[in-house]
């Protein structure tokens, strides 16, 4: 005869968790409405206005007042917007505006909230994958390249030329003229910035997806840049003869279907003495060491909903965005890189900067 015992319930812990779930539900919905506020320009208009009525705010943003009024109610109760009940006026505090408006550039966290809604669109696909295996192809993420470009553009603009590339020790070579490959270039922001800054060098952007490559080519033509090209391809299929003195990969290796082969392909594409700049998520490969990581829940969640899924859709390794520094160093060594330094950039809590030679 077997007996079962019901574990004792810690009422204080249960109550605390109930409060945690309540906060989570409120914040989840607020994240969607912050995304709406960003996309409609409401935050940008409110930071220009004195305390104002919903009618004035709607008029300034060119929007329908009834929707704006309901949105404002969520913002007020979410402690994002201040409200004067006597005057019925709303104001976006300056301390909040510096993190929610386009004027904040790289500090604008409202940009990131757009990803919540975008990833929510593939929930049915992800649930299916949990049950049947496989993954979700890139094509299902309709705005992902656009959102990624919006998220990284101010960071690239502020740091790529003056702070990130100097880590490689390649500035003199870039000015003199070398060949550079930008792996996983997306819409080509990083590639185009480098091509504009170093006209004597030649740049090639490589991406798996056809649409971003076409859009990057149009951007290059519109900018009148003749030292840059964009190709559709997979880093795992790169091979000798080596053509490049510098290869860059900005937050893309963990998405690859075959990351080990991709790193080996990058190694093969580098000329003797060449450098690989690999920028990827700053985390540990060990879950227990990420418990205090301030962004770990978001990063693991986005990895589940996107990074792991797109890799598995290609029959890949499903490395995930939180593959971590320990595994990154191991895989770089296995790919043939013997001299690897890990650097940080002030103000960037997301990434490690691997300089591999």
129 pLDDT above the threshold of 60: yes
Residue 3 binned pLDDT confidence (cut-offs 50, 70, 90): low
Average of per-residue pLDDT across 169-180: 97
Residue 334's pLDDT is: 97
187: tokens are 């819409």
282: tokens are 């700053």
Which of 79-83, 150-154, 189-193, 203-207 shows the lowest per-residue confidence on average (mean pLDDT)?
A: 150-154
Residue 77 binned pLDDT confidence (cut-offs 50, 70, 90): very high
Residue 277 pairs in a beta bridge with: 248, 355
Average of per-residue pLDDT across 187-198: 96
Please report, rounded to a whole number, the percentage of residues in the chain having pLDDT higher than 70: 99
Q: Which fold has domain 13-113?
A: Arc Repressor Mutant, subunit A (1.10.10)
Cα separation of 39 and 94, whole Å? 19
42 pLDDT above the threshold of 70: yes
Q: Which is nearest to 67 in space by CA: 88, 87, 42?
A: 42
Domain ranges in the chain are 13-113, 121-356
Residue 6's pLDDT is: 74
229 pLDDT above the threshold of 90: yes
Average pLDDT, the chain: 94
Average of per-residue pLDDT across 337-350: 92
Q: Which is nearest to 132 in space by CA: 140, 144, 121, 124?
A: 124
Residue 291's pLDDT is: 96
pLDDT tens digit string along 245-258?
999 999 999 989 99
CA dihedral for 205, 206, 207, 212, sign (positive or negative): positive
CATH number for 121-356: choose from 3.30.1330.40, 3.10.180.10, 3.40.1390.20, 3.40.50.150.
3.40.50.150
80: tokens are 């994002």
| pTM, two decimal places | 0.89
């Amino acid at each position: 005869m077997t007996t079962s015992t019901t574990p004792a319930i810690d009422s204080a812990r249960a109550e605390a968790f109930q409060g945690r779930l309540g906060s989570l539900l409120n914040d989840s919905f607020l994240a969607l409405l912050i995304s709406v506020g960003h996309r409609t320009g409401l935050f940008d208009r409110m930071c220009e206005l004195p305390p104002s009525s919903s009618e004035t705010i709607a008029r300034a943003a060119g929007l329908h007042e009834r929707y704006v009024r309901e949105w404002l109610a969520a913002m007020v109760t979410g402690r994002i917007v201040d409200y004067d009940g006597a005057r019925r006026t709303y104001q976006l505090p300056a301390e909040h505006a510096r993190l929610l408006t386009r004027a904040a550039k790289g500090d604008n966290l409202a940009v990131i909230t757009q990803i919540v809604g975008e990833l929510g669109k593939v929930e049915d696909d992800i649930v299916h994958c949990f049950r049947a295996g496989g993954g979700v192809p890139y094509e299902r993420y309709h705005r992902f390249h656009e959102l990624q470009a919006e998220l990284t553009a101010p960071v690239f603009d502020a740091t790529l030329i003056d702070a990130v590339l100097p880590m490689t020790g390649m500035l003199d070579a870039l000015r003199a003229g070398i060949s550079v490959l930008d792996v996983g270039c997306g819409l080509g922001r990083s590639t185009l910035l480098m091509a504009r800054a170093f006209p004597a060098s030649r740049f090639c952007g490589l991406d798996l997806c056809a649409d971003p490559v076409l859009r990057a080519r149009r951007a290059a033509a519109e900018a009148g840049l003749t030292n840059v090209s964009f190709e559709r391809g997979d880093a795992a299929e790169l091979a000798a003869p080596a053509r490049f003195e510098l290869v860059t990969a900005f937050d893309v290796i963990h998405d690859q279907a075959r990351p080990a082969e991709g790193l080996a392909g990058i190694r093969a594409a580098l000329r003797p003495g060449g450098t690989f700049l690999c920028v990827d998520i700053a985390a540990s490969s060990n879950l227990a060491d990420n418990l205090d990581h301030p962004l770990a829940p978001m990063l693991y969640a986005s990895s589940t909903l996107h990074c792991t899924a797109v890799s598995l859709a290609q029959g890949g390794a499903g490395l995930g965005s939180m593959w971590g520094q320990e595994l990154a160093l191991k895989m770089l060594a296995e790919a043939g890189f013997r001299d690897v330094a890990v650097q940080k950039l002030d103000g960037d809590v997301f990434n490690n900067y691997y300089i591999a030679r």
